[in-house]
Amino acid sequence: MSSSSQFEKVLPNELILLIFEYLNAYDLFKSFYNLNRRFNNLIHSIPLYHIDLNNIERKATLDYYQHSVIPKIQYQQNEPAIVFDMNDDRCHCMRILNQLKLMNLISLRIKNLNAENGIYLLSMLPMFKQLTFLCIQSKVDLNLKQFLQIITMTSLKQFQLLFSNYYYPSYESIESQITLSNIEYLCIYRYFRITQLQELLRYLPKLKKLFIYIRSNGYSTSVNNNLHQFVPNLNDLQLFVQELDFDELQLLLHPLSQQLKRLAISCWSYQYSDGQKWENFLKSFLLLKHFHLDITLSTLPSYTINMKQILSKFETKFFFDSHWYFAIDYNPKADIKFVLYSLPWPIKYFHTILYNIETFSTITRMDPNYSTKNVQNLYIQLYNQVSNSTTMVNKNDGQRYYSNVESLILINRLSNDIDQSSKIIDDLCHTIDLTKIKSLKFDDFDHLQSPAIINIMNFIPNLLELKINFKIYLQHQDLISRISTIQTLILYLYLNLVTEDILTNCFSLLSKNIKNLTCITNGQTEILTLLKILYQFKFLNIEKLLLKINTTTFTHTFTNEFIQSIDRFMTKMFLDDKYDFMYKINDKKQLVLLF
């Protein structure tokens, strides 16, 4: 008996449907559709489908979604719900929205929204009458009118507006005659001055959870003491605070003291490190169960600060009875010199150094995994080891350990005099669970001061993605090519001193395991050079190619003449070689090809 027939006969319909819920629509239809009538009937009875275009690397996958999966779902009689995730940097994914406009789309998540598609998206949203969740990670700003259009969509309950590169300033004013919003959860990466925040909350009477950036008005103004009347259901509040005095924060939040159950504050001001002030303030929050605080300083006060004295004000009966514990990381010689935070560290991003960091904690004996269990993206600055230094010392619990990190970024602060690679690698192995690492980046390494540090990759068995300077890649291409797990390679390729012959030789030896290649350059000329070289090798085994201008070089974009030359080159590829591919130019800074 075949394994497929065993699978079908042994499992009841209910269990098979439960398994199907874990599959996206592509895998579901590709693997099980048209195997037999029973599977077809089960697939057609599913109440919700997940269409995920985030990680599409091949044109054939997009075609299958567009011409097979979606039409089959469209003609089902039970009108299933649709969850749609997409990346606007991928080729022509946005056009699938047009296919979904008559379907029951309940959730939409868009990464890397480009300028040319922003207006199109806003024109499509009113057609989705059942949409309850919307998340937009945008490369472009949304003006006030566009923002209000979204939050007043009748069906929308949850809205996240994130920005890829930086945080946009506050809207000038939100006072207008708009319909009250039904939003219950709002997350927006935009600074709101206190006045604008108060205006915004007037239109959100059903709000339960808010994540937002706030800052001072910059001038004296009264704080509305009736804030709780605008948002009577708000019980979960997370604020990123800038240029706001602690006293101003107290005035703003005091009206919510009888309803908040969770409060999280992130800031960059030393005045927020006074535990006594926090205790006096928080005592009035009778329903508060969860309190998170993180304070990050790259500049210390001009006067001497005492770490133990600061922490002692968080070692009171009030904080212990609430089970709120805190720690301080301190190294005055590092870029980030002082971090005070609640335990465990509350967010997934964490910046630290490998050596000579002192950690003071209000927990007497702490599991090394506890304080860092939420950290998934770890940034470690590598300095030269000082004599007798130890890795990430904690005054209460010994060495700290990162057990859940998936993305590791090593930042170069090493000098040229001594190669300490072996010591650094050994200490990283004892500080991080490297088996969990999927992405590794060497940052600020224009050359390797400690050359053997590249060997850290040999200790990362599940590495899928590598981000590295092209010069270093050239020096260690043999080693990198032998690591068979790497499928995504991101090269920072600034070609001033790199000849076309060097590039040609390099890509002729590119590992066949590389399915996704990204090259980041300083200008459009290099992009055309790279495209022609890869064309010589029939693009190897690459399924997705991304050629882009460095995003920090805001003044450099593709010229119209260059875009026309790209179009001509693509036409030649299609006519002469019959390539089955799609391409797209994003924001005049990126060229994307899917094969």
Is the previous residue joined to 332 through a cis bond, with omega within 30 degrees of 0?
Answer: no
Q: What is the pLDDT of residue 1?
A: 41
Does residue 547 register a pLDDT over 90?
Answer: yes
Does residue 497 register a pLDDT over 70?
Answer: no
The amino acid at 194: I
* pLDDT bracket for residue 359 (50, 70, 90): confident
Kind of pairing between the strands at 104-113 and 81-87: parallel
Q: What is the pLDDT of residue 347?
A: 87
As a whole number of angstroms, the distance between CA 34 and CA 410 comes to 48
The secondary structure of 33-94 as a DSSP string is TTS-HHHHHHHHH-SEEEEEETT---HHHHHHIIIIIHHHHHT-TT--EEEEEEETTSTT-T
Task: Give the whole-number percent of the chain exceeding pLDDT 90.
Answer: 52
CB atoms within 10 A of CB 229: 12
Q: What is the pLDDT of residue 564?
A: 92
Q: What is the pLDDT of residue 396?
A: 44
The amino acid at 512: K
Query: Diameter of the chain by CA atoms?
Result: 79
Q: In this structure, what DSSP letter does residue 474 have?
A: H
* pLDDT bracket for residue 280 (50, 70, 90): very high
* pLDDT bracket for residue 552 (50, 70, 90): low
Provide the terminal-to-terminal Cα distance of the chain, rounded to the nearest Å.
38
Does residue 279 register a pLDDT over 50?
Answer: yes
Query: For the chain, what is the mean pLDDT?
Result: 87
Radius of gyration of the chain (CA): 27
Give me the mean pLDDT over the 565-592 stretch. 83
For 14, residues 6+ apart whose C-beta sits below 8 A from its C-beta are: none
- Helices 500-508 and 524-536 cross at an angle (nearest 10°) of 40
pTM of the model: 0.87
As a whole number of angstroms, the distance between CA 561 and CA 568 comes to 11
As a whole number of angstroms, the distance between CA 137 and CA 123 comes to 17
Q: What is the pLDDT of residue 572?
A: 84
pLDDT digits (tens, 9 = 90+) for 16-59: 999 998 999 999 999 999 989 999 999 999 999 999 988 777 77
Q: In this structure, what DSSP letter does residue 298 have?
A: S
CB atoms within 10 A of CB 127: 14
Does residue 398 register a pLDDT over 60?
Answer: no
Q: What is the pLDDT of residue 161?
A: 94
As a whole number of angstroms, the distance between CA 413 and CA 277 comes to 37
* pLDDT bracket for residue 394 (50, 70, 90): very low
Query: Among 141-155, 157-171, 202-216, 523-537, whose mean pLDDT is lowest?
Result: 157-171
Give me the mean pLDDT over the 452-474 stretch. 93
In terms of pLDDT, which residue wins out, 111 or 582?
Answer: 111
Domain ranges of the chain: 467-595
Give me the mean pLDDT over the 158-164 stretch. 90
Does residue 578 register a pLDDT over 80?
Answer: no
Give me the mean pLDDT over the 236-263 stretch. 94
Q: What is the pLDDT of residue 60?
A: 82
590 CB-side CA count, 13 A:
22
* pLDDT bracket for residue 370 (50, 70, 90): confident
Q: What is the pLDDT of residue 56?
A: 76
pLDDT digits (tens, 9 = 90+) for 86-143: 988 876 778 788 889 889 999 999 998 988 888 889 999 999 999 999 999 998 888 8
Give me the mean pLDDT over the 519-523 stretch. 89
As a whole number of angstroms, the distance between CA 172 and CA 170 comes to 6
Q: Whose CA is closest to 490, among 439, 531, 454?
A: 439
- Structure token pair of residue 113: 């929204």
Does residue 371 register a pLDDT over 50?
Answer: yes
Q: What is the pLDDT of residue 95?
A: 77
- Helices 13-20 and 37-45 cross at an angle (nearest 10°) of 60
**Torsions phi, psi of 518, nearest 5?**
-120, 130
Give me the mean pLDDT over the 448-475 stretch. 88
As a whole number of angstroms, the distance between CA 511 and CA 465 comes to 13
As a three-state string, the secondary structure of 407-468 is EEEEEEECCCCCCCHHHHHHHHHCCECHHHCCEEEEECCCCCCCHHHHHHHHHCCCCCEEEE
As a whole number of angstroms, the distance between CA 2 and CA 197 comes to 62
